[in-house]
Structure 1
Amino acid sequence: MFTQASQPQMWDKKASQYGRFSHHENSFQKQILSKIAARGIHFHDKSVLDVGCGTGIYTLHIAQEALHVNALDFSGEMLALLNEDAKHEGLCSKLTLTCKTWEAFEAPETFEILFCSMSPALRNDADFQKFHDLAHEHCIYLGWAGKRESTLLDPIFQAHDLPLKAPPGAEPLKAWLHDQKIDYEREYIEEKRLHVKPYEEALASVLWHLEINQTLPQLERIQELLAPLNHNNTIAFETNIGVELISWKK
């Protein structure tokens, strides 16, 4: 599974449906940033590298405090949306947008804080070592922790003989930290959310998830499964995911 997760064109296709920066005080992003602050990690006047930043749902919160943020992602479409929101927030001068893979990224300098959230960029020991080496003060990682449920995707994946599994996330990183004898803080967090999407957008999301799993969609069966969820051309569904917030000090 997730063998196509490293292909930029897949994430370009997903960009228009991806979450965007929000000022909402009760957002999941605000909760995560509050937990980071409670660990004594502060972005104020710091140089930050946000690895796999996507559309910037954390990047722009961090940029409000940081001295400067280098936002790194291999999807040009994701970065275009981040740039659009950065202009609206007046934060462009505090950002450098870098469209490269993590493997190809050559840092012109180190950064005080490295941050990565729910990104496939960090996958192996070499990726973790590079992440660690580029930080002066702290490394922060928010990643999948095994739990992934969706009332939209679960029945469709079952119909295609696929398990809906969480991508690799926190476990490989924790194993590397143990091997390196690096002390870290961790917290398991669950997020349950109700989503409401237009029918065509929900269908496109289903097809994207099957494509990234290299599975040919059974379109008629998918339409049958979506029908009970379809109310006035709108699909409402719930997701419940488990993530782990990991941080360590250099």
Structure 2
Amino acid sequence: MMDTAFWKDAWEEARTSSSLYQTPVDPDKWRAFWDFFAPVYARRNREDREFHNRIVDHLVSRRVLRENDRVLDVGCGPGTYTLPLADHCRKVVGLDTAPVMLETMQGEAAREGMGHRIAVDNREWAAIPESPDYDVVFGALTPAIKDYACLMKMNRVSRRYCCLISFKGRYHSTLRDGLWRWIMDCDIHSMAFDTQFPFNILYHDGFLPDVAFFPYERTVVEDAAYVKQHFRRYFAIFTQNRGHCGERIDAFIDEHAENNRVQDFQHGVLGVISWPVGN
């Protein structure tokens, strides 16, 4: 029977079987990776701002977001959605465990003249009090909302609405996927953050979730030296006992570089789930 318990267990199974969870999660390594990535991430956000604006405009059109709202952005990164949200809301608090991500977001907010509408909170989602202190609780592609308990907490922290953005199906990156095969000797597989799990849990728990899908694709080009360091830090999270991993990454990047630049094609579909907290 496909009830809440079924989808709760299915989500847990998807997470524990994911390629991303076959080694113990090391928060310090993840934090170091995100902090290193922060400046490049912020630049890519500026390049992709029109796409992020379309998603926020969708939420505004559905009255999920209102101009006097106080919003919590869980796992905000360098302000991917925090900045577009602040265009439409009174205050947005960006929650993230990576301090350089938050510093980068503050710099982006100041550059846009939005500093007065944005605040930062350098804590884990688990540390946020379970009281309805926000009109809207928002999360986009965040590992903080990883299971039933984390999802349900969103309802207790929000007064009015929640929104969770996740992947519909797999996210593809030609460089990451190719490197995973090269380093790990297998294809990467993860459905741990698939839209179907939170959507069906909410539906069977009596909430009224709406979902809209936004396909995206982009080609990013970076200096080979940066890409090597980026993936050295990324694969250090998953390869504690594999020797010569860094050298293999460098060789792969050199093989795919042209004039010391490397191209990566990324594509997927984002599922934007929104729901009123009253059920």
Does the pair score TM above 0.5?
A: yes
* Alpha-carbon contact 2:131-2:157 (below 8 Å) kept: no
Q: Which runs of 5+ in 1 are unaligned?
A: none
**1:76-225 aligned within 5 A:** 76-106=99-129, 110-160=133-183, 161-166=185-190, 168-169=192-193, 170-214=195-239, 216=242, 218-225=245-252
Please report how far the alpha carbon of residue 33 of structure 1 lies from its aligned counterpart in structure 2 after TM superposition: 1.5
**Greater strand share, structure number:** 1
Distance, in Å, in 2 between the alignment partners of 1:224 and 1:10 is 21
* Alpha-carbon contact 1:148-1:164 (below 8 Å) kept: no
Please report how far the alpha carbon of residue 120 of structure 1 lies from its aligned counterpart in structure 2 after TM superposition: 0.6
Q: Which residue pairs with 1:50 in the alignment?
A: 73
Q: Which runs of 5+ in 2 are unaligned?
A: 1-19
Q: Which residue pairs with 1:4 in the alignment?
A: 25
Distance, in Å, in 2 between the alignment partners of 1:177 and 1:51 is 18
Identity level (%): 22
Q: Which residue pairs with 1:13 in the alignment?
A: 36
Q: AA paired with 1:143? A: S
TM-score, normalisation: structure 2: 0.80
Aligned residues: 250
Summarize the Cα distance change of 1:25–1:228 in structure 2 as closer, same or farther, 3 Å threshold: closer
Distance, in Å, in 2 between the alignment partners of 1:23 and 1:225 is 28
Greater CA deviation, 85-94 or 160-169? 160-169
* Alpha-carbon contact 1:4-1:10 (below 8 Å) kept: no
Distance, in Å, in 2 between the alignment partners of 1:219 and 1:205 is 11
Please report how far the alpha carbon of residue 189 of structure 1 lies from its aligned counterpart in structure 2 after TM superposition: 2.7
Q: 1:238 aligns with which of 251, 265, 270?
A: 265
Q: 1:39 aligns with which of 62, 67, 71?
A: 62
Q: AA paired with 1:4? A: V
Summarize the Cα distance change of 1:208–1:242 in structure 2 as closer, same or farther, 3 Å threshold: farther
Q: Which residue pairs with 2:7 in the alignment?
A: none
Deviations 1:42-79 (A, max 9, x none): 33121111111110021011112211111111111100
TM-score, normalisation: structure 1: 0.89
Distance, in Å, in 1 between the alignment partners of 2:227 and 2:120 is 29
Distance, in Å, in 2 between the alignment partners of 1:226 and 1:20 is 21
Q: AA paired with 1:165? A: H
Summarize the Cα distance change of 1:159–1:21 in structure 2 as closer, same or farther, 3 Å threshold: closer
Please report how far the alpha carbon of residue 153 of structure 1 lies from its aligned counterpart in structure 2 after TM superposition: 1.6
Greater CA deviation, 63-72 or 171-180? 171-180
* Alpha-carbon contact 2:68-2:90 (below 8 Å) kept: yes
**Greater helix share, structure number:** 2
CA root-mean-square deviation: 2.4
Distance, in Å, in 1 between the alignment partners of 2:72 and 2:220 is 30
Please report how far the alpha carbon of residue 14 of structure 1 lies from its aligned counterpart in structure 2 after TM superposition: 3.0
